A and B are shown apart, each in its own frame.
Chain A
């Protein structure tokens, strides 16, 4: 209780009222597809964690875009995630330690929190020549993944690379890159997107912390609360599609009117994600709002299956 009071006091100092905070928790609860009765419980997760849940975040064949996306989290703020809510034991982009001290942190955390830590994996795993095309500290991605992932309470593949192989796995896939589940023969939770909206990662983690289990998933192991519907079915431009009102060239009168982008190659009908509803950066925008067709970035093998991007489906 004392901790909770401290928490709200801190929020107040940051100019966030308790009311705003509860509003956020309501949004997150709704995003996760839980009933309103869970709102206080969601608030509890942020306000007074007894022990911050340990997270080991691994980077393999990736561009760090998913980490950058995570850093953009505004609900809750990224500093709160790092300092007050989670215990990020290993994350190469932000951790202070380097070299063998960094490796020690990883190994120690795996040991200390065996069966309890959340393992977030960013990036695909190189498999050709025994994994030779990707190494950290002299060990291959493959070797590190095999030593960490099986000991986690849950493995979350953040982003399309970790989920399905991503850009480096596009034909001809020179390094033999594979997604985490595929490379290790495990069933990771997939939060695809290039990069995914941080809300979908936070929602999944909160779901886990709150209910002690993972959210409901689809056949590609994606949380249904985020990936249950197509972009097309939630698109604010949908009525233009029904009325045969299409943009045929960027910058045209039709583009200015916000007509449907289907004829410019929009992959919304084939892509499952919540971008139109959640949007990015506190609801600022998302690709279709910025006048660009969806490229299907959360679907498996989109770099091969959804291209050429600008040709009608």
Chain B
């Protein structure tokens, strides 16, 4: 029996996550991932107006804002049988693209970077050297000795104040931090610049969505921001897109490569086996053929053998989750009853209990989704691998280029480092594609096409689903309408795939699998554990999945 470590709260994520690992011989030997909060939004949706669903489900998460609204509005559109106009498709894609840009920048700099970057070490840097390094590797629009001296002074003032705020009591000085002081200073400067940039980038969401988080311009049948479909607003969007994409190209990607070059050993740590994508960003009417991010599944790391993915093959397991005994079920046959009195809280009890030792074997509010019985990683790495495996030229080019720059083999993608790199690469690719979409919109407006909405009528009955790929991975929403009301609504969410517990067969979830073998130098300061967990960009509020307890019939759904 090795040493047990509990990390709770896992910070710099969305939601309440507890990770427990068992360390033996300086490496993780076993791992448990646990969602610590239950809200039950799907129960709340029952009996409501289907048109309201996108607003409710968008509140699953304010970090993944927009994404659930998009999936939901698509599911309802499929159920009522309406096809949205071209402009609505393009604007939705633009908002989705902006979400990828924004979300991934925030993840890299504000949620993940401090696992690799030692803020306090930056105080020892020579600003002149940092300026040189910065000029060599990035095309940042700022820099120079004076600039870096100023940043350093700002951090010093902050540190000297004795009020370290968000940087207090972290793992600074840990031997696992490999960047020299100069590189740390550059990264800290970019951390601050990125804070400001992301606040600007969301103006893209405001232009066609009213605000961010929780955009308010999607409606079943199209989008509402018709008065923003005018040249000056489109060009305002283009302007902000340009600044954001320039940051991605000139700062984010070079920073990613710089950091990766010091942590190549992480190209062999934290990998998983299976990868699932539903795909997204439709370039036309046909699904999945027109999706820019392709649909597919890879098993056992066979990149050359991408198969089509089908939603019918998904089942959710609850053997190790805090729900009443049930067999694995497809979401549509789902039945869920959260444990009640059994989970009653006793102060102090839980803190002493390790998950591996609970009597019931139950340890999470997350279910365990499986594809043909297998756990699958979803997210940027899955998308990049599927696109690469399918021979997508754009993705292939950026992946090959990155691998050669870092001088690592393709297999290095199956890792914590690969996951983090894939996130940056897809941001670049998606961001680049957005310019063409903006021009498409301009072309439509030029030709007098300003249609943004298609009329429709609420049927008495209907069913539909929306399969998407969003910042954190594969997302599906399913709806059944009866008497013009929601009879059943459910969604299977990226972080449920990535951070769910063991399944009926005892197979570990992706993050649990990825943690096995992770080195831990100091059990008191498990920065290495955070690296792998953060590389999945966890979003736990989304992930706690709740199915209507009364629907247990099997039915087929109409594919639109």
Contact = CB atoms under 8 A, between A and B. Distances in A.
Contacts of A88: 165-166
Given A10-B154, A137-B9, A292-B216, A94 B110 contact: yes
B345 A249 contact: no
A68 B37 contact: no
B442 interface: no
Contacts, number: 321
A291 B213 contact: no
A97 B61 contact: no
A250 B87 CA distance: 14
B55 A295 contact: yes
Contact of B213 (A69, A138, A290): A69
Nearest to A137: B8
B152 interface: no
A92 B9 contact: yes
Contacts of B235: none
Interface string B205-226: 0111111111111010111111
Interface centre among A66, A86, A105, A290 (most CB of B within 10 A): A290
A35 interface: no
Contact of A102 (B9, B155, B221): B9
A308 B224 contact: no
Given A289-B210, A290-B216, A132 B12 contact: no
A175 B55 contact: no
Given A54-B163, A61-B39, A69-B62, A310 B49 contact: yes
A170 interface: yes
Interface in B240-287: none
Nearest to A113: B163
A33 B198 CA distance: 29
Contacts of A175: 38-40
Contact of B224 (A62, A72, A84, A255): A255
Contacts of B212: 68, 72, 280-281
Nearest to B48: A307
Interface centre among A62, A128, A251 (most CB of B within 10 A): A251
Interface in A128-180: 128-140, 143, 166-168, 170-175, 177
Contacts of A87: 161, 163, 165
Contacts of A307: 48-49, 52
A64 B166 contact: no
B195 interface: yes
A310 B51 contact: yes
A265 to B, nearest CB: 9
Interface string B161-184: 101011111110000000000000
- Interface bin, chain A: 35 or more
Interface stretch (A20-28, A75-83, A206-214, A238-246): A75-83
Given A250-B221, A251-B222, A10 B150 contact: yes
Nearest to B9: A136
B70 to A, nearest CB: 15
Contact of A129 (B171, B202, B344): B344
A172 to B, nearest CB: 6
Nearest to A101: B169
A258 B226 CA distance: 9
A99 B526 contact: yes
- Interface bin, chain B: 35 or more
B9 A174 contact: no
A250 B285 CA distance: 22
B114 A134 contact: no
Contacts of B6: 99
Contact of A93 (B11, B154, B526): B11
B227 A291 contact: yes
A229 interface: no
B36 A303 contact: no
Contact of A195 (B62, B106, B161, B217): B62
Interface centre among B106, B110, B202, B216 (most CB of A within 10 A): B216
Contact of A101 (B52, B170, B210): B170
Interface string A87-114: 1110111111111011111000000000
Given A255-B226, A280-B212, A168 B453 contact: no
A72 B51 CA distance: 28
B8 A290 contact: no
A34 to B, nearest CB: 25
Given A69-B213, A251-B222, A97 B195 contact: no
Contact of A95 (B11, B85, B454): B11
B452 interface: yes
B36 A97 contact: no
A51 interface: yes
B119 interface: yes
A288 B211 CA distance: 10
Contacts of A166: 59
B91 to A, nearest CB: 11
Given A79-B195, A281-B202, A307-B49, A62 B541 contact: yes
Given A83-B155, A88-B165, A135-B36, 10 more contacts: A63-B60, A69-B62, A84-B158, A135-B37, A136-B8, A167-B39, A168-B39, A256-B227, A281-B199, A285-B228
7 contacts: A72-B212, A79-B192, A95-B11, A96-B114, A102-B169, A250-B452, A297-B214
Top 4 closest pairs, chain A to chain B, by CB: A65-B62, A251-B453, A290-B210, A96-B170
Interface of B: 6-16, 18, 36-41, 43-44, 48-49, 51-52, 55-56, 59-63, 65, 85, 106, 110-111, 114, 119, 147, 150, 154-155, 158, 161, 163, 165-171, 192, 195-196, 198-200, 202-203, 206-217, 219, 221-228, 338, 340-341, 343-347, 350-351, 365, 450-455, 525-526, 530, 541, 546
